Every structure is written in structure tokens, then in C-alpha cells.
Amino acid sequence: MVKLKIGFIPAHRQLMGEDFAVEMRKFYIKKLSKIKEIELIYPDENLIKNGLVRNFEDSKKVINLFTQNRVDAIIIGALNYGDEKSVLTIVENFPNKPVFLFGTAEPEIPKNHFFVSASACGILPISFGLKRRSIKFTYGGIAKLEDKKFDNKLDSFLRVVLAFKGFNNARIGMIGSRQNDFEVCAVDEALMISRYKQKIIHFNLLDIKYEIDAIPDSNFQVQEIVEDILKSGRSDIEKKSLYKVAKLEYLILKYAEEFDLDAFTIQCWDSMQKYIGITPCMTNGRITKIGFPVACEGDVNNALAMLIQKNLTFGKATPMILDILTIHPEKDNLILAWHCGNASIDNKERSQTAKIMYQCPWEDVFGKESAIASMEFGLKPGIVTLNSLVEHNGQFKLSNITGKMVTSTDKIRGAWSWVEMKDRDKFYETLIYEGFTHHNSIIYGDLTLHVKELCKYLNMDCVVV
């Protein structure tokens, strides 16, 4: 994983306790440097006195330091009262970077001497100046030395920074076009470019067919993919029939590297079956597990939602695009999250065996050879977050719904689980009135706080159920 470059401003007020500020600077540099996801950029003692930002001259040097290192975000530590003018001078030079602001707790009530921190006071002029400049920021609190609340807020902020960075300038590979029947997958590509500098990299299905046909079965990497597929589950399909889907996987991963792509979406029916003779459901799940989220049915927006979820979990959980397919006919507050076999195997319910199968229903429509292959299983239980990205009239919005995958003895084809909602009617009303679609990116864990904060930085509406 590429490390985030985080600029740290150790803010000091000249009249306050310098020894305390020096001590706090060392403490937080050590603490932040231990976080494996970041590279900490900060002024050292050779650049400015004691490495503390206290005046305009210091701020100019730090601006140059952060610019040279191309920081992704800024952390402001008001180590005592802090000098707001120098801090704000730095931050206003990086207007589109997420900012984290925290202060230091007073170590004790002073006896016959002045306060050494008073950052609870000084942090207010800093936050006032950020607000006046319309600079968005995250407040990390007045932190004690060992402070779980601070650690949690900082962890959330870093997840948001990664998702913010990944969303802006995202490069989405689009294999084929969007499904003609699905208006819900239509996007405004020009708006994506102008708003977030995102790019859709288009790959024609004719070129895909030509390149697949040109890859020999003897290709070593293709053979490795076939062997790995067979290790992953019980196969109803002969080994020789898996080579074509293995070639598609090989090709998509080649595109990811050559075109520096972050995620994909694919026209998974029905031209793929008619003219190439494969079904890519299993391939989608396998590539998502590798680290390149793949959305079905030409859905660019939900490829981006999958990318957001991946980054908000530091890539430790695997997203999956599932339909909100139906409600349970008997049990209240259960909805069926389902797709035809595109989920990553690491989301499988532990006791089940993954089945490599002919895709349902394409084996009946196009014949078995064109329905290779899907990976079918029930999904594991646990808390999940459902996110869906849409755009209406130039405004993007992201839904955020939490639920719980529950175990079931039902026998359903595809990759699926019943999801328990606190209020199913409110869930459906929200999706319908807010204009969301049947596609949702689903991931294990509760991302609500992270999603809210991310939407703030992306100037995006966050719709929470």
C-alpha cells in the first residue's frame, strides 16, 4: 500500500511554555511515525527553532517543506496555545487538503506559575480562522498523552484521507459499455472530470475478444490462474473450460498495471456471452480480492463506491456490489442482498464450500460454455455497511446504511445473504425518495463515521439511514 504523506505542524505560542511544547512535539512525532500507513513530514530543529512553528518566517519554510514533499493532508497540533497566524498561513496554501486539528491537555493545575498549554483556548482562534477561510477540517479533541478517543479520531481521519485521495483522480477501467437496459448506470463523464479529475478508461469488447483469442492456453500466468481457481472451491466445470475466463483475468490485471487503474466496471451481459463466450462473475470477485474493485453491469458510480469502501478499511476488507433484490416474504426487517456469483471468496460463510458453477440464468439462455463462471456461496454473518453513489442535477450523494448479515439455511443460487435492518420500511423509503439504485457496495464493518467525514471533504451529500 502506498503511504500517505502527512504534514505535521507543531504549533507554538512564543509566550507559552516552550519546554512543554518541545516535549509534546517529540511525543507526537514518535506516536505518528509509528503509524505504518503514513510518512510523516515535519519541520526539524535545523529548519526552525526547536522544530516549532511560531511566526511567519517559520510558516514560509514549512510551506516549502510541505510543497516539496507533496503532502496529502495536514495535522495541526496546538502543542500549547499555538500561533494561529503562522498555522493559517501554512494551511491556506493547501486549500484542498484534509486537515486534522487537535490540542494538548494541560498536564496539571499550575501552582504559582502560568499555564504551560492553554491549547483549549488557542485552538479556538485556529478553528475560527479555518472556518473563515472555508477550509474543511476534522477536530481531534484536546488530547491526553494516552487517549483512546484521540487515537480513534486520528485513525478515522487517515482512512478518510486515503479515500479522499483515492476518489479524486480515480481511474476507472470500463470494459465494454454500460448496460443499455440500465439507465441507473448512466454517468456524466464530463462532470466527473471537472469535479474530481476522474477518468474512465474505455476498453472495447471487440479488442477484448481479439486479445483473449491471441493468448495461448500454454501461457504460464493463465495456467497459474486456472490452478488457483480450482483450489478456491468445488468446480462443476472442467478444467479445460476455465482457460478463457483465466485469460480475461490475466488481461484485466494487465490493463490495471499498464493504465494505472484503481477499479473497473464491466459490461457483464449479454454481449460478453454472445460474442466472447464467457461470463465474468467469478473473475470480478477474484480481481476485487486482489485489490482492484470491479462493479458489474457498467456501473461506474458503484465502482467508485467500492473504491471508497476499500480505502476506508485500509484495504483490509473486500467490498462487493450486490443488488437489493427482495424483501423476506415472512420475516420483518430482512432484505436479500444478492448477485449472481461475483463476491470475493474471503466474504464466504466459513462452513460453506464455494461452488464454481455455470452462471444462473445464463446457462439456460446461452448454453453452459458461455455461462462460465460464477462463484456461489452464502455470505458470512456480521455487521455491514451499504453505500451507493449517485448524481442528480450535478450534485453527488452517497448513501450510508448499516445492517447485519444473518445466517440462513435457505438454498439460493449466486452469492447472497439476508440482511437485517433496524427499520426496513425507512430504508426503502430513503432509497426511493433520495433516488438511489438497486446496486449497493457492501462491506463488513460500520463505516458510518468515516463516510460522513469523507462526504464533507468531497462536498457530497451524505444520506444516512
Q: What is the pLDDT of residues 90-119, one digit of tens each?
A: 999 999 999 999 999 998 887 767 788 999
Local confidence band at 56 (pLDDT 50, 70, 90 cut-offs): very high
- Residue 213, pLDDT > 90, answer yes
Cβ-in-10-Å burial (0-12, 13-18, 19+) of 57 comes to: exposed
Mean pLDDT of 38-56: 98
Q: What's the pLDDT score for residue 110?
A: 78
Taking phi over 0 as left and psi of -120 to 50 as alpha, with beta for the rest, 353 belongs to beta
Q: What's the pLDDT score for residue 116?
A: 85
Query: pTM value?
Result: 0.97
**pLDDT tens, position by position, 136-157:** 999 999 999 989 999 999 999 9
Q: What's the pLDDT score for residue 443?
A: 98
Q: What's the pLDDT score for residue 125?
A: 98
Q: Check: CB of residue 12 under 8 Å from CB of residue 23.
A: no
Strands 99-104 and 73-78: parallel
Q: What's the pLDDT score for residue 358?
A: 97
H helix or E strand, kind and range, residue 323: strand 320-327
Mean pLDDT of 210-221: 97
- Residue 1, pLDDT > 70, answer no
Q: Which of 356, 339, 350, 334 is nearest to 423 (CA)?
A: 334
Mean pLDDT of 51-64: 98
Q: What's the pLDDT score for residue 24?
A: 97
Provide the residue type at 303 as one letter: A
- Residue 16, pLDDT > 90, answer no
Q: What's the pLDDT score for residue 111?
A: 78
**Lowest pLDDT segment from 111-120, 172-181, 216-225:** 111-120
Q: Which CATH class is domain 171-464?
A: alpha beta
**pLDDT tens, position by position, 236-262:** 999 999 999 999 999 999 999 999 999
213, three cell numbers? 483469442
Max Cα-Cα span within the chain: 88
* Beta bridge pairs of residue 320: 442
Q: Which CATH class is domain 4-167?
A: alpha beta
299, three cell numbers? 456501473
**pLDDT tens, position by position, 345-392:** 999 999 989 999 999 989 999 999 999 999 999 999 999 999 999 999
458, three cell numbers? 468531497
- Averaged confidence pLDDT in the chain: 96
What are the extents of the domains in the chain? 4-167, 171-464
Alpha-carbon gap, residue 447 to 449, rounded angstroms: 6
